[in-house]
Structure 1
Amino acid sequence: MIKILFVDDDSRYQIVIKNLLESEGYEVFLANDAAEGLGLFNRIPFQLIISDLKMVSIDGLQFLSLIKKIDERAKVIILTGSDNDDDEVKGLTLNASDYIKKSASLSVLLQRIKKVLSEESTVQQEMVYSNKENIKVNLRERHVYRDNQLIELTLKEYELLLFFLKNKNIVLPREQIIKEIWQTNPKYVDSRNVDNHIKNLRTKLKLSSIYSIRGVGYEWFE
């Protein structure tokens, strides 16, 4: 079920939107302010965050900025009762998925929510992730981050990491790994070479997700 976080300090409006979204089959979590919203966001994998613009202490744009620092893939819709175009420009500059006036009808709001949920973000296309390990790989720049820290990997380690991340929860025989990463017949590569590269990858990234499958190969379990 798609999980949506809705952050707004107007409890009556919260209930209206919650009922609307739940009637469409979404699971909705409510937060009364940005701090509560961040707490939920850090514990629950949401497919969409909807936030009011004007809130006490931390406003919707600041909240959007904080969310994007945690996960730049996050889809965030900003709702506002303001007619200030500058706010909308700032929101779009911060990569808000959409910026919607609260005066929009509920049917229009619902359709725009569905549109955002159906879109695959450009960032997502350029990135590969492990939520369990807090790892993200920038495919365009070939950069690997663990806990938002850049980690230097060799080419083979980088290719191994990508192969595992793209084949999570699948047992990968050593022969298949050699064919994919070393691009050669498995009989020409010592299987201990594979083991050593994976050992180095585990060490550099402090991995707990790669499991040895005795007599077969490895699995990234997440």
Structure 2
Amino acid sequence: MIPDIPILVVEDDPAVRQGIVDVLEYAGYRTLEAPDGHVGMEMALKANYRLLLLDLVMPGPSGFEILQALKKKRPGQAVIILSARGEENDRVRGLTTGADDYVVKPFSMKELLARVDAVLRRTCERAAPSDERAVPGGTVDFRRRQLAFPDRREDLSDKEAELLRYLLDANGRIVSREEILRQLWGLDPEKTETRTIDMHIMHLRTKLGDKEQAYLKTIRGKGYQLTS
């Protein structure tokens, strides 16, 4: 049985969209739907999902515009483009803009499911780094959820470990509070007021021995950045 993985389908043709949704749900996935570029843009940036199936040509913002917005706000988001435009330039543009795959219409549902499975497997592997990673002055063992330094060890809570891994995977990129809330806590930032991110960042700094914020920095108005 496939885990309860949410997939967002942005497609303006109701018959095509319903067909995709039916097949995905029959296969065990959970679906979200957007009927045009306007709703698609909003859901693509704010909804909680693992994979986006994205049409290119539709009313409102195009698929390329949605991809560009995702590249800025949710880098690394898994995307499969679904389009009748099979020209090489469109395929290259889609893949270089951030899509993981490009499926040309008309396609069989069997092929689509195979592409969905392949992209989810790749992105899952992409997000599953080594259990042991370097941190400033020491190492972290994610299996044991423990920081190790020459003179001490610090245990991490599940969420502290998740947050530290996420910041390490960002490779120096500034990560916003909104992104952390959405990706790690599964919460809508616009409907949530919480200090939990600040508390977890504070605890991580203490355990990293980073009282001066030399490594785990708060970038005013933007978010957090972990540097080596």
- TM-score where L is the length of structure 1: 0.60
- Structure 2 residue 36 is matched with structure 1 residue 39: no
| Residue 174 of structure 2, aligned match among 145, 157, 180 | 145
**2:193 aligned residue:** none
- Structure 2 residue 61 is matched with structure 1 residue 58: yes
Q: Helix, strand or coil: the match of 1:205?
A: strand
Structure 1 residues 125 and 72: alpha-carbon distance in aligned structure 2, compared to 1, 3 A threshold: farther
> Aligned residues, how many?
161
1:11-68 deviations in Å (ceiling 9; x for gaps): 1111100000000111100001222123223433210001111112321112111112
* In structure 1, C-alpha distance between the alignment counterparts of 2:219 and 2:98, rounded to whole Å: 31
Moved over 6 A (4+): none
Distance apart, 1:122 and its partner CA: 9.0
Larger radius of gyration: 1
What is the RMSD computed on CA atoms of the aligned residues? 3.7
- Structure 2 residue 16 is matched with structure 1 residue 30: no
1:149-177 deviations in Å (ceiling 9; x for gaps): xxxxxxxxxxxxxxxx9xx8xx99x8xx4
**1:205 aligned residue:** 218
Residue identity opposite 1:63 in structure 2: I
- Structure 2 residue 76 is matched with structure 1 residue 73: yes
- Structure 2 residue 52 is matched with structure 1 residue 49: yes
- Structure 2 residue 7 is matched with structure 1 residue 4: yes
| Percent of paired sites with the same residue | 27
**1:118 aligned residue:** 121
